[in-house]
Amino acid sequence: MGQDSGARASIRCFIGLPLPLGWQQGLDALAGRLAGRLASRLSWTRPDNWHVTLRFLGEVEEARLPGMCEALRGVDFAPFALCLGATGSFSLRGAPRTVWAGLSEGAEACARLARDVDRALVHCGFEAQARDFRPHVTLGRVKQAASGDDWEAVGRELAVELGGAAFGPALAGKFVLWRSILGPQGPKYLALSHFPARDHGGGPDGRKVPA
């Protein structure tokens, strides 16, 4: 957390939905199979790092964290189901840049939660989210695309895999404030605070939530 002399201490962080262990393991195995046959060079998301981002914050002064967490504790949402669905890539000048999986179930509830999180952050002094929210799980980032790879075929293969038994419906029962620690092997995420869903009576939900 050390900073230059005279600068305020800050950390890089984001807010998101964790994915269940079974999905994490399945995505790790899937990434390994694809990496073995693609000519393109990809930086796959590290095991245990897959998540759905609700709001990326970047560098935040540590002094703001208590107030931010207090505001986020006021976000009231009911648990909702998640299923992985359509895949695709965010492109730059026609070349694939980021390979991602969308949601076939839970996208609307996820968007509502993201709006509520954003509203809570605005109330404690953060700027509103500038970009349209698109719930997704980043599978990997294309560092160098090879012309021989058939990305449409990759998308079809991913869609079939993600619709399989290894990726059955999961319950989104909490969101998490994570710290992102950058390193030569990729970022490492450290959970700073958990914010559970609530039942219809307004109390903490007692059902099992993704780890």
Residues marked active site are found at 51, 136
Task: Please name which of 78, 56, 64, 88 lies closest in space to residue 10, comparing C-alpha atoms.
Answer: 64
* Longest Cα–Cα distance in the chain: 56
Type of residue found at 199: D
Type of residue found at 82: L
Type of residue found at 72: L
135 exposure class (CB count in 10 Å sphere: 0-12, 13-18, 19+): buried
- 39's CB contacts (< 8 A; 6+ apart) are 146, 148, 149
Task: Please name which of 175, 178, 210, 209 lies closest in space to residue 74, comparing C-alpha atoms.
Answer: 175
